[in-house]
Chain A
Amino acid sequence: MVIKTEPFVVNIGPAHPSTHGVFRMRTTLDGEVIVDMEPVFGYLHRGIEKLAEERTYTGVIPLTDRLDYLASMSNNLAYVLAVEKLAGIPVPGRAEYLRVIMAELQRIASHLIAVGAFLNDCGAFMTPILYMLREREKILDLFEMASGQRLTYNYMRVGGVSQDVPEEFIPALDKFVKVMPGFIDEYDQLLAENEILLARAKGVGILPKELALNISASGPVLRASGVKWDIRKADPYSIYDRFEFDIPTGSVGDCYDRYRVRIQEMRQSVRILEQALEQLPQGEVRSDVPHLLRPPVGEVYGHIEAPKGELGFYLVSDNSIAPYRLHIRAPSLINLTALRDMIIGWKVADAIIIFGSIDICMGEVDR
């Protein structure tokens, strides 16, 4: 007897435990195998780019917090760098170091969530992510000391940072930098050589080098495919040329490589933090910037290596107090475009971990 079968459509999301927000995969399944997938997003659209046109240059900073809410500091940094580039505003030395410290702490915090959520998607019942949240809490404590907030920091300002860090911040950071390598080793040993994880993640969801370059992927997703591209080295912004660090890359571009690259990047971030702590100068943290900043007519593109990839702000100024146009190059969105090519032919369970390994944040995808 031949049983007649036909593919059926399953909507994974928008409200699903593993879509990390409100993303929807409209998958066509043949049994468990995904034969087609159509990504649907936009559920979290808040019109941030348009809202920015109605605000002063400083007033946009809180909006950038709401982009990738797991890496608000990086968003702040990318935006203020773009404005400073546009208006030609100098930044005091101490502020530069504080910015780098915050950005690298944020990278660790974001990667902790990424790795933890990825392992959680693999089905490791909440244990890895809770271990990683433990260290993330310490980073959030540091951010709270500096900015008073734990999620949307609004810490950076055009021409510096909003305030100097309190005196207990530096000893706390020093302690964190000392203990963190041990904790990263712990995460490494938690599941790195686990047979089931290897079976689930190795060779799954391969993003070939050519495709990664073609879709202009960036961040850990690109580096896992074997491309040594990091904006901190390729186009050094702020004071990244003063630090020594390596760019970890993967070889194959599968889920396991993306997971490993993120863990290695955390180690490099700790290295940068160590050097920044040593070199941190005293002095002003903010240069004199008029309240209602009117940058000269022109346009500028400022980009940084955010935890999820190249975060760019394209600003057009018409010499008024508000940006004429703001466009955000969100790494999550661009990396997500590879999803369909990566998951066709894999099973439902693989689709979830491939999606998890890209590490997106819907606040940034939908803006």
Chain B
Amino acid sequence: MTVFDSGFGSSIGYGQTLPPDWPGGFWFHWGVFVVIILVFVLAMVMGFIYLERRGIGRFQVRLGPNRVGPFGVLQPVADALKVLIKEDITPAKGDKLVHWLAPVVAFVPVVMIFAVVPFQGGALLADLNIGILYVVAISSVTTVGIFMAGWGSNNKYSLLGAMRQVASVVSYEIPVVLSIIGVVLLAGSLSLSQIVLAQDIPFILLQPLGFLLFFIGGCAEINRTPFDLMEADSEIVAGFHTEYSGMKFALFYLVEYAEALAISAIITTLFLGGWRGPVLPPFLWFLIKVLAVFFLIFWVRSTIPRIRVDQLMAFAWKCLLPLALINLLITGIEVLVLPEALPWTIIFLNLAIMAVLIALWSKLFRLGGGRVEV
């Protein structure tokens, strides 16, 4: 049980910012943080939905929702209420149990990711010393839920979408994990709060290529444009949730945004220095960084067309994977050979390496794929 030593039991790594007379023991801490996480996730998802709709509205030369409440801030609430009172339909020939279970299987792991995300120093449910490994493992479970949805719906569009999802997650998991290892090498720990504490300089500067790979791979895993193949509305209607309505659909909607929130939070923690920052309180810094990453995600969404399913695979295996391996190799060499080097040297070295590699790959690699003889 060495794995859980710093995570459970009496010593919960309260860290530096929590007062030493923090009341209660393990269970109190557990209860409080479960409530905090649920409230945080739901509130942030509402905020994200509002922000994305308003933001994309601006990108698309229109206003976005502005009727419900001041500046339309209550629009997500209205949407949630609408979706709650909708009829819940199960396809007659669908697999009823799988269809019913799928949204739950998809939603629960996403919330569980936040168990190890440090909102500020010490403010997290469990400071697992294998934190990032836990995140990688648990976030993949969502895929099972989505494939269950595709299978249980007994709908061809759903199945196509679900199969695309499985394929993309299996492929993109690898570059994502490899780019995480670069960070772990630098921080010397798998624990998310230790990684944050190690970032005197945010790792985005020391690991620019790793950040890029993680961001792209993360977008692919949570199915954001240009990788939103599993729900590609112009191709397969709504993908895996074509047959869902009512609260089950709402859960999938929640999953989509909670995943975006999770990936923003993980990027913030791994690359942007987590809660650390001057002047403002730590939690506020965390929020600002999460929102900035999310802004980047929906900026991309409103700009770029979607890539095709074979191109998605080619991009993961032929472009991201080699780059991730090279990045890992270079990071390893740097950690081994230049442990005492000035950070600025490493920053410029890494930026130069990234520029060269990206230029090289944009010359070597073409998204392509063509016609199949039938």
Chain A residues proximal to chain B, CB less than 8 Å = 8, 10, 16-18, 30, 32-35, 119-127, 130-131, 134, 191, 194-197, 199-200, 203, 344-350, 352
B368 x A199 contact (CB < 8 A) = yes
A348 x B234 contact (CB < 8 A) = no
- Assuming A121-B234, A345-B371, A345-B373, is B309 touching A32 (CB within 8 A)? yes
How many angstroms from the CA of A345 to the CA of B305 in the assembled complex?
A: 22
- Of B57-65, B175-183, B194-202, B247-255, the one contacting chain A is B57-65
B304 x A196 contact (CB < 8 A) = yes
**Does chain A have a CB within 8 A of B264?**
no
B306 x A10 contact (CB < 8 A) = no
B371 x A199 contact (CB < 8 A) = no
In the complex, which residues of chain A have a beta carbon less than 8 angstroms from the beta carbon of B60?
A: 126-127, 130-131
- Minimum CB–CB distance for B365 against chain A, Å: 10
Q: Please, which residue of chain A has its CB at the minimum distance from the CB of B314?
A: A199
Among B256-310, those with CB < 8 Å from A are 301-310
- Of B41-49, B74-82, B224-232, B334-342, the one contacting chain A is B224-232
- Assuming A33-B372, A200-B305, is B62 touching A123 (CB within 8 A)? no
How many angstroms from the CA of A30 to the CA of B236 in the assembled complex?
A: 15
In the complex, which residues of chain A have a beta carbon less than 8 angstroms from the beta carbon of B225?
A: 123, 125
- Assuming A30-B374, A123-B228, A199-B366, is B307 touching A130 (CB within 8 A)? no
The 8 Å CB contact of A130, one of B62, B157, B237, is: B62
In the complex, which residues of chain B have a beta carbon less than 8 angstroms from the beta carbon of A125?
A: 56, 225, 301-302
How many angstroms from the CA of A85 to the CA of B301 in the assembled complex?
A: 52
How many angstroms from the CA of A106 to the CA of B305 in the assembled complex?
A: 27
Q: Please, which residue of chain A has its CB at the minimum distance from the CB of B229?
A: A349
In the complex, which residues of chain B have a beta carbon less than 8 angstroms from the beta carbon of A34?
A: 374
- Assuming A33-B374, A123-B225, A130-B61, is B235 touching A191 (CB within 8 A)? no
The 8 Å CB contact of B61, one of A121, A134, A197, A349, is: A134
A17 x B234 contact (CB < 8 A) = yes
How many angstroms from the CA of A199 to the CA of B309 in the assembled complex?
A: 12
How many angstroms from the CA of A134 to the CA of B226 in the assembled complex?
A: 24
A32 x B374 contact (CB < 8 A) = no
How many angstroms from the CA of A344 to the CA of B374 in the assembled complex?
A: 8
**Does chain A have a CB within 8 A of B108?**
no
In the complex, which residues of chain B have a beta carbon less than 8 angstroms from the beta carbon of A191?
A: 305
List 11 A-B residue pairs with CB atoms under 8 Å apart, sorted by A's residue number: A10-B157, A120-B234, A123-B232, A124-B306, A126-B60, A126-B302, A127-B56, A134-B61, A194-B305, A195-B367, A349-B309
A35 x B374 contact (CB < 8 A) = yes
How many angstroms from the CA of A345 to the CA of B370 in the assembled complex?
A: 9
B62 x A196 contact (CB < 8 A) = no
- Assuming A17-B233, A122-B305, is B59 touching A127 (CB within 8 A)? yes
A123 x B226 contact (CB < 8 A) = yes
B374 x A345 contact (CB < 8 A) = yes
- Assuming A199-B311, A347-B308, A350-B308, is B303 touching A127 (CB within 8 A)? yes
In the complex, which residues of chain B have a beta carbon less than 8 angstroms from the beta carbon of A196?
A: 226, 304-307, 367
The 5 A-B pairs with the shortest beta carbon distances in the complex, nearest first, are: A123-B306, A199-B367, A122-B305, A124-B305, A130-B60
Q: Please, which residue of chain B has its CB at the minimum distance from the CB of A343?
A: B371
The 8 Å CB contact of A200, one of B233, B302, B307, is: B307
Q: Please, which residue of chain A has its CB at the minimum distance from the CB of B225?
A: A125
B373 x A349 contact (CB < 8 A) = no
In the complex, which residues of chain B have a beta carbon less than 8 angstroms from the beta carbon of A352?
A: 234-235
How many angstroms from the CA of A35 to the CA of B304 in the assembled complex?
A: 29
The 8 Å CB contact of A348, one of B56, B236, B367, B371, is: B236
**Does chain A have a CB within 8 A of B104?**
no
A32 x B237 contact (CB < 8 A) = no
In the complex, which residues of chain A have a beta carbon less than 8 angstroms from the beta carbon of B233?
A: 17
**Does chain A have a CB within 8 A of B84?**
no
How many angstroms from the CA of A17 to the CA of B374 in the assembled complex?
A: 27
User: Most B CB atoms within 10 A — which of A119, A121, A122?
Assistant: A122
A123 x B234 contact (CB < 8 A) = yes
- Minimum CB–CB distance for B167 against chain A, Å: 10
In the complex, which residues of chain B have a beta carbon less than 8 angstroms from the beta carbon of A199?
A: 307-308, 311, 366-369
- Minimum CB–CB distance for A117 against chain B, Å: 9
B307 x A348 contact (CB < 8 A) = no
- Minimum CB–CB distance for B296 against chain A, Å: 15
In the complex, which residues of chain B have a beta carbon less than 8 angstroms from the beta carbon of A10?
A: 156-157, 160
- Minimum CB–CB distance for B358 against chain A, Å: 12
In the complex, which residues of chain B have a beta carbon less than 8 angstroms from the beta carbon of A348?
A: 160, 235-236
User: Most A CB atoms within 10 A — which of B226, B229, B301, B368?
Assistant: B226
In the complex, which residues of chain B have a beta carbon less than 8 angstroms from the beta carbon of A127?
A: 56, 59-60, 302-303
In the complex, which residues of chain B have a beta carbon less than 8 angstroms from the beta carbon of A346?
A: 371-372
User: Most A CB atoms within 10 A — which of B60, B156, B235, B369?
Assistant: B235
In the complex, which residues of chain A have a beta carbon less than 8 angstroms from the beta carbon of B371?
A: 345-346
B302 x A16 contact (CB < 8 A) = no
In the complex, which residues of chain A have a beta carbon less than 8 angstroms from the beta carbon of B368?
A: 199
How many angstroms from the CA of A366 to the CA of B157 in the assembled complex?
A: 27
How many angstroms from the CA of A123 to the CA of B235 in the assembled complex?
A: 9
In the complex, which residues of chain B have a beta carbon less than 8 angstroms from the beta carbon of A195?
A: 367
- Minimum CB–CB distance for B175 against chain A, Å: 18
In the complex, which residues of chain A have a beta carbon less than 8 angstroms from the beta carbon of B235?
A: 18, 123, 348-349, 352
How many angstroms from the CA of A194 to the CA of B304 in the assembled complex?
A: 8
Q: Please, which residue of chain B has its CB at the minimum distance from the CB of A126?
A: B60
- Assuming A35-B374, A199-B366, A199-B367, is B309 touching A347 (CB within 8 A)? yes
In the complex, which residues of chain B have a beta carbon less than 8 angstroms from the beta carbon of A134?
A: 61
Q: Please, which residue of chain A has its CB at the minimum distance from the CB of B303?
A: A127
